[in-house]
Amino acid sequence: MEIPTAIRDLYRRTVVIDCLATPNTFNVDYPPALTELTPDQVANVRRSGITAVNHTIFATDIADHQEKIRCMKADVARHPDTLMLIERPSDIRTAKATGKLGIILGFQGMEFLQSNLSLIDHFASSSVLIMQPTYNQESVLGSGCLSKVTAPGLKTLGYEAVKSINRLNCVLDLAHSHAQTALDAVKASSQPVIVSHSACHALHPHPRNHPDVVLRAIASSGGVFGIYLMPLLGDEPAPASRELVTRHLLHALKVCGEDHVGIGSDNSITPLQLDSGYFDALRDFVADRTRNGSASPGEGRHPFMTPGLNTPRRLEIVAWDLSRAGCSDSVIEKMLGSNFLRVFDEVWQSGR
């Protein structure tokens, strides 16, 4: 695939933020994750051209979250020429200037706090700068996107969590929330709100995809709605395609406006190794999620990626596709990263 020189130049000069990604194994544990990055993973980070990622600390309990944070920080320390921890807005610009990948630590779901909201302060001081209160299920904080309760939404404890996240100048993320939870949280938040990785329900009615009313609410908060590169974009019945990624981005652009759309791939920077081992691991992964009630409809039918974008430079290809769809360079630069950077500047700068 020969990317046009103009697109390569645009990508090279742009701050590129993938608002849900990781330098190591992600989602399906194949090849099995090690305690530190492999040489191939480090090499893929270097060639990706990505400036910063929202890196999920996804664990089971408080101690496990603390250990995962320690391990990620240790990886950053092992590779100071490749990685840097993001702790303030200026760090992202430093990562761009020095050619490093900025690691923004984030949560997907905060049920593990078990009602102890004082721990939000602890984790914010441990450099967790993006916090998503709910995952897919119903919790003490609010309703996730798979919740079947008759009156879904943000709960009393969830409102308190939003206040704490705002007070600590962390970014509030509503990616896996129920639509009503998202609307409640946007109304409650005193700061811009993001959806780091989702898609447009109007194009594909799936619980993980948000309706236009949520897209408009995110934009009205001054926030950003991120589109993922996952099979949940649609069903053709083949897996999600590059065309579908572009369609979702263009729909979000139409609903939200050019200042409020971004990308959160929900992928590892390292391409998936699509052999029999991967598909065995995918089956086991989805079976476990089905048992615990977190699996979304259709999970496991296709690999967790978009064909044609299984490469470290996937966002450069997305930029090319947007250009061919008629988007200007300035709009593409906003969607590649400057929109998320603007929100991070606004939320983080008052406290860091």
Return d(Cα 70, Cα 189) in angstroms, integer.
30
Which residues touch 109 (CB under 8 Å, ≥6 apart)?
58, 132, 133, 134, 135, 136, 139, 144, 176
Amino acid at 338: S
- Contact indicator for 205, 195 with CB cutoff of 8 Å: no
Residue ranges making up the domain that contains 137: 5-348
Q: Is it the case that residue 69 has pLDDT exceeding 80?
A: yes
Quick one: what percent of the chain has pLDDT higher than 90?
Answer: 94
What CATH number corresponds to the domain at position 285? 3.20.20.140
For the stretch 15-60, pLDDT in tens is: 999 999 999 999 999 999 988 999 999 999 999 999 999 999 988 8
Mean pLDDT of the chain: 96
For the stretch 155-189, pLDDT in tens is: 999 999 999 999 999 999 999 999 999 999 999 99
For the stretch 331-352, pLDDT in tens is: 999 999 999 999 999 999 866 5
What is the per-residue pLDDT for 240? 84
Q: Is it the case that residue 261 has pLDDT exceeding 70?
A: yes
What is the per-residue pLDDT for 237? 64
Q: Is it the case that residue 239 has pLDDT exceeding 80?
A: no
Of all helices (H) and strands (E), which one includes residue 98? Answer: helix 89-98
For the stretch 300-333, pLDDT in tens is: 999 999 999 999 999 999 999 999 999 999 999 9
Q: Is 319 left (phi over 0), alpha (psi -120 to 50) or beta?
A: alpha
Q: Could you give the number of structural domains in the chain?
A: 1
